[in-house]
């Protein structure tokens, strides 16, 4: 690949910024990291070829400051802007501004982000391309009274979702019409604060479902492929905690139908780059319905990497540079089961309260089929301004049972102090009979596991 003087602005922080800096080195690309004043000295700043302070600690004055990011990109001679996940990764306006300045935004073009980022439009697009969808509104709403009329047609329980975002923000479950207005206003206000867009989309709520997603990738040469599926059903407050691949709950024909639907949708909307098509799956009826598409790389992409045998961040950069996909054929994928556990700076014994502070001892596990993606180090100050994720523990095994056994060993080997983490939660999870038997749903953690868990008895 001829890259010349190609240089990448890494418009992010933390673990994904570390990954991006390493991917640039692997491809022989120059890299420029940005950092807030609070992140000075963070690993991504010294892994990149150059680092520039972007502003003070608050994200709105640093990592979300589009003017500052574009100024750094232009003044340092960058050709590409890599957004990772979070912050501006799914901001169509930022992608548009990059293009206007002659910069390549590593992701789909602005029109694609807008289409799939608007949940109502994405739902219509999915239906147009033959993908089954969850019953819901055809429009978005900013007025609770107007939305209430549409809610009556859909039926209760309902799920209110921020049209412009994800990650559980701007989301509420409405069980009865009497609580609709109050919860709608809460969701709309939260959406306005998180995404600068108060619009809410209504969707029928299914209480006991799986969350299964398909990784897709598309290039500028008409190639669109799937890289398998992930089961992300273990969640709390709509935030994923554990992800695994393949989704053991699916039969062969069910899996094939989901993969084909995801590729058909990506091809139909002219998608480019890495994306994830997300479905809910009802085990009782064996039905799957499209819920949304994330137009970026996902936090949980390493479980796919472990099966497919490819660096997806490297592939993102290659595709952005106009290269065709270079993904391994399906017959060469590893016959393994992969699992990812998010290690967050949170205290699960106190309602998952964030625990910023100085990280003391940090000795992550190592060994065959154990992978740690992180950016932290001993004596590092964990900041209160950003996402609480410290690391991702990824393990693989010949099957789900062996992957869980390896995860138990890895968590037992982890040495961490100074702040509370979610490691004890994950260790207890691995001993739970429901989790071991794969009897989970998106509500299982909150409704079944946590009420019966005694943190004082945890092994980690």
Give the residue numbers annotated as catalytic, written as ranges: 296
How far apart CA 92 and CA 95 sit, in angstroms, is 5
Length of the chain: 460
How far apart CA 77 and CA 63 sit, in angstroms, is 19
How far apart CA 363 and CA 416 sit, in angstroms, is 6
Task: Name the residue among 415, 418, 239 with its Cα closest to residue 342.
Answer: 239
Q: 3-state class of 165 per DSSP?
A: coil
Task: Kindly report the number of other CB atoms within 10 A of residue 336's CB atom.
Answer: 19
How far apart CA 193 and CA 197 sit, in angstroms, is 8
DSSP annotation of 103? -
DSSP string, 131-152: --B-SB-SS-BS-HHHHHHHHH
Phi-psi domain of 338 (left: phi exceeds 0; alpha: psi -120 through 50; beta: other): beta
State how far the alpha carbon of 176 is from the alpha carbons of 173, 185, 187, 238, 397, in Å.
9, 15, 16, 20, 44
Task: Kindly report the number of other CB atoms within 10 A of residue 146's CB atom.
Answer: 10
How far apart CA 23 and CA 236 sit, in angstroms, is 31
Q: 3-state class of 24 per DSSP?
A: helix
Q: Which long-range contacts (CB under 8 A, 24 or more apart) does 70-75 make?
A: 70/97, 70/98, 70/101, 70/103, 72/9, 72/32, 72/34, 73/9, 73/32, 73/98, 73/101, 73/103, 74/101, 74/103
Half-sphere exposure of 288 (CA within 13 A, CB side): 28
Q: Can you say whether the dihedral through the CA atoms of 270, 274, 279, 283 is positive or negative?
A: positive
State how far the alpha carbon of 223 is from the alpha carbons of 216, 290, 375, 385, in Å.
11, 22, 33, 39
């Amino acid at each position: 690949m001829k890259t010349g003087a190609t240089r990448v602005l890494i418009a992010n922080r933390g673990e994904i910024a570390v990954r991006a800096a390493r991917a640039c080195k692997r491809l022989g690309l120059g890299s420029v990291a940005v950092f807030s004043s609070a992140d000075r000295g963070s690993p991504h700043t010294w892994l990149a070829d150059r680092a520039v302070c972007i502003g003070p600690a608050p994200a709105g004055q640093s990592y979300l400051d589009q003017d500052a990011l574009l100024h750094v990109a232009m003044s340092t001679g960058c050709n590409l802007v890599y957004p990772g996940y979070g912050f501006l990764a799914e901001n169509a306006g930022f992608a548009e501004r990059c293009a206007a300045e002659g910069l390549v935004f590593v992701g789909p073009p602005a029109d694609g982000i807008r289409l799939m980022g608007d949940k109502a439009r994405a739902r219509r697009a999915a239906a147009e391309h033959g993908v089954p969808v969850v019953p819901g509104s055809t429009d978005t709403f900013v007025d609770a009274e107007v939305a209430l009329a549409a809610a009556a047609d859909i039926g209760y329980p309902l799920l209110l979702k921020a049209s412009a975002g994800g990650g559980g923000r701007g989301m509420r479950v409405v069980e009865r019409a009497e609580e609709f207005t109050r919860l709608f206003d809460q969701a709309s206000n939260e959406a306005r604060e998180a995404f600068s867009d108060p619009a809410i989309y209504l969707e029928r709520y299914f209480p006991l479902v799986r969350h299964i997603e398909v990784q897709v990738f598309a290039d500028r040469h008409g190639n669109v492929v799937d890289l398998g599926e992930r089961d992300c059903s273990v969640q709390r407050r709509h935030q994923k905690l554990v992800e695994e691949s393949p989704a053991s709950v699916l039969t062969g024909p069910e899996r094939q139908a989901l993969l084909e639907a995801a590729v058909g949708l990506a091809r139909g909307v002219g998608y480019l780059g890495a994306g994830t098509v997300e479905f809910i799956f009802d085990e009782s009826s064996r039905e799957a319905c499209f819920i949304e598409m994330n137009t970026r790389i996902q936090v949980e992409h390493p479980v796919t990497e472990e099966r497919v045998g490819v660096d997806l961040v490297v592939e993102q950069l290659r595709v952005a540079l106009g290269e065709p996909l270079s993904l391994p054929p399906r017959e060469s994928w590893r016959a393994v089961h992969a699992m990812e556990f998010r290690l967050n700076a949170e205290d699960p014994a106190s309602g998952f309260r964030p625990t910023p502070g100085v990280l003391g001892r940090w000795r992550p596990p190592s060994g065959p089929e154990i992978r740690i993606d992180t950016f932290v180090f001993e004596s590092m100050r964990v900041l209160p301004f950003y996402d609480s994720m410290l690391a991702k523990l990824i393990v693989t095994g010949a099957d789900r049972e062996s992957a869980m056994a390896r995860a138990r060993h890895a968590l037992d080997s982890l040495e961490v102090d100074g702040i509370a983490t979610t490691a004890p939660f994950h260790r207890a999870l691995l001993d739970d009979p429901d989790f071991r038997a794969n009897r989970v749903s998106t509500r299982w953690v909150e409704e079944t596991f946590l009420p019966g868990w005694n943190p004082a008895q945890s092994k980690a």
